[in-house]
Amino acid sequence: MTQTTDHTHDANATSWVESASGHADFPVQNLPIGVFSHGESAPRGGMAIGDMVLDLPGIAMMLEDPAEDAALTANAPVLNALFAGGRAPIKALREAVFALLTDESKRTGVEPHLYPAAECTMHVPFLIHDYTDFYTGIHHAVNIGSLFRPDNPLLPNYKHVPIGYHGRSSSIRVSGTDVKRPAGQQKPVEDGGNPEFGPSKRLDYELEMAIWIGQGNDLGDPIPVGEAEEHIAGISILNDWSARDIQAWEYQPLGPFLAKNFASTISPWIVTMDALAPFRTAQPVRAEGDPQPLPYLQHDTSAAAFGITMEVLLTTPKMRAEGAEPFRLSKGPMTAMYWTAAQLIAHHSVGGCNMQPGDLLGTGTLTSGEEGGEGSLIELTEGGKKTINLPNGEERKFLEDGDEIIMRAYAEKDGFARIGMGDCRATITG
């Protein structure tokens, strides 16, 4: 399926849903899919349109197959079955809903199936069988490596193989769910000393994007890199929380464990590959002297990246009490990925691993490489050496109880309507 634009991307297209006009995230050109509930109703599939949520099963009978079948399949508490059929049914569903929402004559029939988003509860959109977090942000990798290996920040394998670790899917929660500060062993103050145990003192966020798997593959049947994008359901925002003091003590020799397994937060809406078509862009050219990928990772990268801007903001209890606006900590592009989404999928499956609908792949922390584009506090504070001064006089090195982290992401390009991912937010509790 080629990445081409069509009438659903027309910047002049408008919806009779009033709040969709000029909406920063959810104009009619977006139509992301998620799982919602309203009142006492069961969770089911919906689409975001402006400040409203459209009940997909509710409007199914107004559609024709394959869109009708897709909308009926969305009548479930998770969307695994909907996306398991590949991208063609999703494309048909998006086009059919676009037609309903731009046709005033359909308003009377559709409007009863629209609910104010503020009245809806959002849910994790998939039953997540597996979660793999990659390490594709090369500027982040250099920054972190420099804290421990100033003369050689990148390990020898970094530019040859996509690095990742198997995360904990059971603790992934949807935006708006509080995160309890984890406890664990922390590195001894002096070499040879005994570790401390207690609540993490160096709690951090990681600004990432989530790549969701739609159609899977059979065990032992790798996904070729040229076909990998057909297996992507869409993307969301991901915050892979990190307890840096616990991580520093446990990560050798097998990598993150308790420092990462206590919580990860996702934004609730899946922005589909079709909605992102206008915002595809070239993968950044590798630096001179960098090795070329091995053959199984080589593909056309002229439109393999996503022109998405990401940002992370902080509010403290004092800021909220004073009615202050969130303070932006950093901002940067998703193109900070050293490896493409297709390369991640091809590498993940090359040994025969069977990817399943609803599997989550994290990009890893995406740092821009420029000042103000750091994707984590450990980078912003240079490992806790520097202090972040907030406008109200408060200071932070790492997160304190009551702090709320808000992540946002959006795509914009001349000639097209801006689309966004919505918020990915959570508050730290003691």
Q: Which residues are catalytic?
A: 140
Is the omega angle on the peptide bond into residue 253 within 30 degrees of 0, that is, cis?
yes
Calpha distance 181→177 (Å, rounded): 13
Q: Is the preceding peptide bond at 326 cis, omega within 30 degrees of 0?
A: no
Separation of alpha carbons 10 and 201, rounded Å: 49
Q: Is the dihedral of CA 96, 100, 105, 110 positive or negative?
A: positive
Cβ atoms of 397 and 381 within 8 Å: the answer is: yes
Taking residue 281's Cβ as centre, other Cβ atoms within 10 Å add up to 18
Q: Specify which residues 408 forms β-bridges with.
A: 311, 423
The H or E element spanning position 406 is: strand 404-411
DSSP notation for 298-350: ----TT-EE--EEEEEEE-HHHHHTTPPPEEEEEEEGGGBSS-HHHHHHHHHT
Nearest to 359 by CA among 266, 254, 291: 266
Helix or strand run (H / E) with residue 272: strand 271-272
Tokens at residue 55, please?
């009940």
16: amino acid identity, one letter: W
CB atoms under 10 Å from CB of 109, counted, come to 12
**What ranges make up the beta strands (E) of 175-216?**
179-180, 183-186, 196-199, 203-204, 207-213
